[in-house]
Amino acid sequence: MSIRSKVTILIAGVFLILGAAVVMVGKLVIMRSFAELERADARTAMRRIDYALAENLEQVAVDARDWGNWADTYRFAWDHNSGFPAANITPAALKLLDVNVVIIIDRAGQVLLAEDVDESGERPLHLDLTAWRSLPADFPWHENLGNAQPARGLLRTDGGTLLLASGPLLDGNGGGPSRGMIIMGRLLTPTVLKHVAAQAQARLELLPVDRNGPAERLEATDTLTRVYRGYADVYGKPLMTLRVDVPREVSLRGRAAVRVAALCMLAAAALIIVLLVAVLNQVILNPLRIVTRHAVAIGAGRDLTTRLDLKRADEMGVLAKEFDRMVEQLAESHTQLMDQSFQAGFAELARGVLHNLGNALTPLGVRLANLGNRLKEAPSEDAAQAIQELEGAVADPQRRADLEQFVRLASRELAALVRTTQEDIAIMSRQTTVIQSMLAEQMRTTRNDHVVEPVRLPELVSQSLEIVPDACRQRLRIDADETLQRLGTVRVARTVLRLVLQNLIINAADAVRDAGKERGTFKVSAEIVREDEVAQLHLQCKDDGVGIAADNLTRVFEKGYTTKSPDTNHGIGLHWCANAINALGGRIWAASEGPGRGASMHLLLPLTGHEPAAAAAA
């Protein structure tokens, strides 16, 4: 079989599979997505019905609260003035309020007034609840008579479902004590249902209650999506069921669109097969596929040791030989570059590690030296000799008293020494932990794996101070600006940023010393900025030291550059800081108004997440 035939059959098979896949995606994914959209639309329509029904009930509740907080109603509940109903509880007033029922009940549950009227406001309804003489004993709103709380809900009556709401009887200014409640109700008539459906812009039907069905269910036919929802009355018993009908227009239009798309795809596939068969031939197809696949593999950097070794005498063979020669040269260059990069990176990493370890070990060595001096000066040997003499026979009472006094004083001094030693050991333990975490971070750095942690910036500054030598800390007053606290928690590479801050604090202390000051200020502030739609942390560290000349603002980050003595400084600190910040995807720069006017270091780091200060404080 020729290559042309093979390619033709292959392409035809691919397009047939693609066509089948398109049909299956259309039926199983797209049409199902359309159906899900329709179900979501139907549920949304039912939620709109709920909202419209709740809005109608809220209107009744507002009227009930307003009438309950009316001085005339409050007075009527006290003196039962017959003029109040005649003047206010009239059919016209009920029609104006758009309610069908008004009932006033005193604190004892006795009905003082009960009126009902139909929608036209012309004739009474004679509902069963307006015949109450007192609030039924099982009615759920009994406790509202005394606690001055409003209530609302649905209630079944002999005239239909009633939207019912109550308000406490108050003195007109919202004060009490409550003298009972006023109940108002609006019948859920076809007119009200039509108004609710218009508010929700949906087709609505009122159905008999389904006592055994779920609270909400969905049904779909070929033309409609229906949502059924049951409602309970104030007693918590099933009362009615509402049904929303949503036409399935999305599925109808989607089915037609999928059909047209499938036909267009089939036509395009047939045209493409004809064009490809006309272009491809036995001379080009196979060699080109082999060379292309090999070129893609080389471009992806998978393997530089494989060769085409294509045995052809035509132009394709020459191209393959030249390609093999270029790959061989590329493999040699790649090997040399990797070796050189490894050596250079290893040396750079080692210098940075040694510099940071030197900064971290300096305060540890000072504390150890101080601890050794205190232990040498401790009266341990004298105390041991005194105890040994006391254990023997001391004939002179005065001598014995002096020895006992000396032992007591020595014990106090040794106890104080033990306490200070324990404090020093705790600090040295924390500093040792810092060194361990520093080494662990350097190991992660060699794998380009920086651990990002949630950090509060004031705590980060405090942690950085712990690994700064005591002499540097004593020379600086650290001013943590309130912006650090306001930012709350940020997610950064904590260990790397702590080492960077440590280097900046040490440099600031040296700058204050070089300025001839006994003590200076190191101020840290922060803000969140956005660059290219990415949230970034901007840290500003400012000192009042010797400052930086304008020509040196960029040179301070160069490897080996330093303005200090080369015997004590090798120009590594700020260079390492710049490399570390760049490795995190950020940048660092210096600013100064000139020599003698202090300097500031600016750090810009991308954030992976930021919690607002309010949430962090909570």
Q: What is the pLDDT of residues 489-514, one digit of tens each?
A: 888 888 889 999 999 999 999 999 99
Shared domain for 393 and 433, answered yes or no, is yes
Cβ pair 520, 512 in contact under 8 A: yes
CATH number, domain containing residue 540: 3.30.565.10
* DSSP codes of every residue in 190-227: HHHHHHHHHHHTSEEEEE---SSS-SEEEEE-SSEEEE
Q: What pLDDT score was predicted for residue 139?
A: 92
Q: Is residue 88 part of a domain?
A: no
Could you tell me which of 577, 457, 453, 586 has the C-alpha nearest to residue 507?
A: 577
Mean pLDDT of the chain: 82
Tens of pLDDT along 59-90?
A: 999 999 999 999 999 999 888 888 888 888 88
Domain count, the chain: 3
Give the pLDDT mean for 427-431. Answer: 78
Tens of pLDDT along 92-108?
A: 888 888 899 999 999 98
Q: Is residue 46 part of a domain?
A: no
Burial of 521 per CB tally in 10 Å (0-12, 13-18, 19+): middle
Q: What pLDDT score was predicted for residue 350?
A: 63
- The arrangement of strands across the sheet holding 216-220 comes to 203-207, 238-247, 224-232, 216-220
Q: Which residue has the higher pLDDT, 453 or 187?
A: 187
Global pTM reads 0.43
Burial of 341 per CB tally in 10 Å (0-12, 13-18, 19+): exposed
Q: What pLDDT score was predicted for residue 483?
A: 92
Shared domain for 459 and 575, answered yes or no, is yes
Give the pLDDT mean for 358-363. Answer: 73
Strand partners, 477: 521
Alpha carbon dihedral 119, 123, 129, 132, in 10-degree steps, equals 150
Structural domain ending residue among the three candidates 335, 358, 391: 335
How far CA 452 is from CA of 491, 550, 557, 581, in Å, comes to 6, 35, 25, 13
CA dist., res. 147 & res. 374, Å (int): 74
Question: pLDDT at residue 569 above 80?
Answer: no
Q: Is residue 506 part of a domain?
A: yes
Shared domain for 382 and 317, answered yes or no, is no
Q: What pLDDT score was predicted for residue 439?
A: 66
Domain that residue 415 falls in: 378-443
Q: Is the peptide bond before 177 cis (omega within 30 degrees of 0)?
A: yes
Question: pLDDT at residue 58 above 70?
Answer: yes
Shared domain for 542 and 586, answered yes or no, is yes
Structural domain ending residue among the three candidates 443, 462, 494: 443
Q: Is residue 548 part of a domain?
A: yes
Shared domain for 464 and 566, answered yes or no, is yes
Q: Is residue 147 part of a domain?
A: no
Shared domain for 434 and 482, answered yes or no, is no
Shared domain for 477 and 555, answered yes or no, is yes
**Phi, psi of 300, deg, nearest 5:** -80, -5
The total of other beta-carbon atoms located within 10 Å of residue 137's CB is: 7
* DSSP codes of every residue in 381-450: HHHHHHHHHHHS----HHHHHHHHHHHHHHHHHHHHHHHHHHHHHHHHHHHHHHHHHHHHHHHHHHTT-P
Q: What pLDDT score was predicted for residue 463?
A: 85
Give the pLDDT mean for 294-320. Answer: 72
pLDDT band at 616 (very low <50, low <70, confident <90, very high): very low
For residue 606, give the 3-state DSSP assignment.
strand
Shared domain for 439 and 457, answered yes or no, is no
Q: Is residue 322 part of a domain?
A: yes
Question: pLDDT at residue 566 above 70?
Answer: no
The total of other beta-carbon atoms located within 10 Å of residue 379's CB is: 17
Q: Is the dihedral of CA 25, 27, 30, 36 positive or negative?
A: negative
Tens of pLDDT along 111-151?
A: 999 999 988 888 888 999 999 999 998 999 988 888 889 99
Over its C-alpha atoms, the chain yields an Rg (Å, rounded) of 44
Q: What pLDDT score was predicted for residue 66?
A: 93
Q: Which residue has the higher pLDDT, 346 or 307?
A: 307
Pick from 179-183, 280-284, 401-405, 496-500: least confident: 280-284
Structural domain ending residue among the three candidates 416, 443, 470: 443
CA dist., res. 88 & res. 414, Å (int): 94
Give the pLDDT mean for 568-576. Answer: 73
For residue 517, give the 3-state DSSP assignment.
coil
Shared domain for 490 and 580, answered yes or no, is yes
Tens of pLDDT along 454-479?
A: 888 998 898 888 888 888 889 999 99
Shared domain for 416 and 564, answered yes or no, is no
Q: What pLDDT score was predicted for residue 434?
A: 73
Q: Which residue has the higher pLDDT, 342 or 278?
A: 278
Strand partners, 166: 151, 183
How far CA 321 is from CA of 7, 311, 313, in Å, comes to 27, 9, 10
Give the pLDDT mean for 591-595. Answer: 90
Q: Is residue 233 part of a domain?
A: no
Question: pLDDT at residue 522 above 90?
Answer: yes
Q: Is the dihedral of CA 10, 13, 19, 23 positive or negative?
A: negative
Q: Is residue 466 part of a domain?
A: yes
How far CA 200 is from CA of 153, 164, 191, in Å, comes to 20, 21, 14
Shared domain for 551 and 410, answered yes or no, is no
Could you tell me which of 326, 337, 272, 319 has the C-alpha nearest to residue 299?
A: 326
Question: pLDDT at residue 403 above 80?
Answer: no
Tens of pLDDT along 208-263?
A: 887 776 778 888 888 888 899 989 999 989 988 999 988 888 878 877 777 788 78
CA dist., res. 439 & res. 430, Å (int): 14
Tokens encoding 519: 């003590």
Shared domain for 477 and 554, answered yes or no, is yes
